[in-house]
Amino acid sequence: MDLVGLIASIFYQLGTNAAFLLLCALGLIVILGMMNIINLAHGELMMMGAYVASFVYQYGVPFWLAAIISFFAVGVFGALLELTIIKRFYGRELGALVVTWGISLILSQGFLLLFGPFMPPIQIPGGSFALGQYSFSLYWIAMFIVAMLLIVALWWLYNRTEIGLQARATMQNATMARALGVDTNRIYTLTFSLGAALAGLSGALLAPTTSIMPFMGQQFVAPAFITVVVGGATNVIAGALGSSALLSLVKTPIGFYFGAFLGTVALLLAALIFIRLLPDGISAAIQRRLDLRHRMR
């Protein structure tokens, strides 16, 4: 039973590490891949999602419904942010970088002034079960399933809907898309709103696992950016899925046998190696391979 528990524990940690990286990175990689904007306020959008979830949860709203409310609430805030500020910085990557950093400071300090240093915690839903000496959280298993469902939903959105087709056309050539009648301004608003909504949902889902406070987003920013840079922006879905899986494969065995700290160090070193070998990201390598296979047919 201990051997079965050990194998199950390794796969469990692989899944939870991958789910954590995916949830941290999804909103960020959508905005970067579709709009070429590095959103330094991503962590604060996740923090907003956690705050919304905590607030409504204290009024008796079931946690999963609170997470959905966070998705829509932060998505609406993201749309307003894009319409009032972000749209003025398209084509000015450095300006967008600075302004999103300023937004992050305003949000974190503003929430500190309005709500104080902490929000009421959210109890981790579900329970746990054991195999031998190893314990497994049902909530983290559910988180892995949710992360996979989000990937499937994004794939369906970008490949099976008209708005997804327009978004991909805008990403590849915005000028040509406008000439063909695509309202690129609307696409940009919807894309930034979707990225913000995914950040809010991720923050809400991760809220039960950490303290809910104004600066909580900072702990998610580094994993998010590492996952996004390693994945690349050529293909949003392939990049997020591929990088989270590979980084989890590196971090999990090192962390399992040598501790969480060395697991994180291994993840950072692996990210440096991947960036050196694949400067355009995993998704660019996958796309080149697919293009080559298509030309050979």
Quick: pLDDT tens for 27-56: 998 998 888 888 999 999 999 999 999 999
Q: What percent of the chain is predicted at pLDDT more than 70?
A: 99
What pTM value is reported for the model? 0.93
Contacts (Cβ under 8 Å, ≥6 apart) of 246? 230, 270, 274, 282
**What tens digit of pLDDT does each residue of 259-274 get?**
888 888 888 899 989 8
Residue 143, domain member (yes or no): yes
| 266: in domain | no
Domain assignment present for 279: no
**What distance in Å separates the CA atoms of residue 194 and residue 53, rounded to the nearest whole number?**
18
Q: What is residue 137's predicted lDDT score, i.e. its pLDDT?
A: 92
> Is residue 274 in some structural domain?
no
Domain housing 60: 2-215
Split at pLDDT 50, 70, 90, the class of 297 is: low
Q: How many domains does the chain have?
A: 1
The pLDDT, as a whole number, for residue 103 is: 96
CB 143 within 8 A of CB 15: no
pLDDT at 54: 96
Within a domain: 208: yes
